[in-house]
Each structure stands twice: as structure tokens, then as C-alpha cells.
Structure 1
């Protein structure tokens, strides 16, 4: 059985990889809106992050209720089930503005859980 720590480690690793590629390649919101290859490239890590978050225990979610767990899982569901209706401007904003903060907080949560 995969633990919450395992799932958060995956979220952290995938998030850091995505942010690294975005920074190295100079990918921005406008580029994501216009380039289907970039859309595919950023969607897969977001699927993975959302799936890991969706499988976190209720206890962990309740313990860290300040995190947007349901929004992250919901983004995954929207990307998977409504791909043609994806708002790529919003996805670009999530990657540029929200993902770095979320991943930093996941790293903090991991440190707390490992030291407990």
C-alpha cells in the first residue's frame, strides 16, 4: 500500500521536475496557450500530481486543510475528462503562480511527517 509520505514525495518530485523544465525552457503562460506540444508536456505531470493528491488519506487532508487538495485533484479530473475544454491560460497561471507555492508547502509537510 502506498503511504501518504510516498504520495507526497511523488508530488514533490514531479512538481520540481515540471518547474525545472518550465524554467530551463523559458516556458510561459502565452507559450502554453499557443503550443499543443507544450500543453501535452505540462498536462502529464499535472495529471500525475492530481492523481497522487486524490489518493491521499482523509486524515492527512484534514490535518493540512490549508492546502488546496480538492482543487488539485479537481484540476486532474478536468484535464483528463474535459481535455477539449481546457483553459490553457488558467493552466499557465497555475504553473507560474500556484504550483511553486504548493510544492514548497508539500516539501514542508514532508519534513514535518518525517520528523514525527
Structure 2
């Protein structure tokens, strides 16, 4: 199915919010995410999905909303998918706990 930029943005927003809320509801700490393999698996699928949709958003939309690091988001997805043995979980923890809430706020400011 081909999605519009708005649909992709909504999917990114929804997935990011669900992951962020799950982390909060379960009171998952940075240390737990660094050490718990099952939690690591839990966060990778939402990050894949976010990255895939970010990758497929049109260049024009990305340029219009240049305050969002589209290439970094898509690049993270590519690294998780293609270099899973080399995943630096310190970076993933920073993304989940620091960058994800900021991404939610930026997308919310656009239209959600």
C-alpha cells in the first residue's frame, strides 16, 4: 500500500507514542534496556517501523520540515536491520529515552 506523507507522519507519531507510553507504563529504565535482551527486541520493531516510514516520506516534505532528522531516523532503521549484531545499545537507549519524546513533540507541532 502506498501511503501519503500525512499518513506516514501519523504512523510515525502513533508508533512513537505507543513505544514511549509502554516504556513509561512499565517503568523501564535505561539500565534495563541496556541489559535485557527481551526489552531490546521489544523496542526494535517500533524503531524499524518509524525508520521505514521516515525513509519513504517525500523529499519535499522532508525539506519543508527540516527540523526533523529524517536521514538519521531512516539510518537508524537501516543499521538495526542490516547490522543487528553491531547494534550499539547505548545509542538506542539515548534514542528511546531522549530523542523519541522530542520527535513526538516535533510531529505533534506539525499536525497531529
CA distance in 1, matches of 2:13, 2:31: 25
Runs of 4+ aligned structure 1 residues displaced above 2 Å come to none
CA distance in 2, matches of 1:49, 1:89: 19
CA distance in 1, matches of 2:78, 2:62: 18
How far is 1:60 from its partner? 0.3
What RMSD in Å do the two structures reach over aligned CA positions? Answer: 0.9
TM-score of the superposition, structure 1-length normalised? 0.92
How far is 1:29 from its partner? 1.6
CA distance in 1, matches of 2:72, 2:16: 16
How far is 1:110 from its partner? 2.2
Q: Over residues 49-105 of structure 1, what are the superposed CA-to-partner deviations in whole Å (9 max), with x where a residue is unaligned?
A: 000000000110010112110000000000000111101111011111111011111
How far is 1:33 from its partner? 1.1
Q: How many residues align?
A: 111
2:94 aligned residue: 93
Question: Structure 2: which 5+ residue stretches go unaligned?
Answer: none
Contact 1:30 1:89 in 2 (8 A): no
Question: Structure 1: which 5+ residue stretches go unaligned?
Answer: 112-116
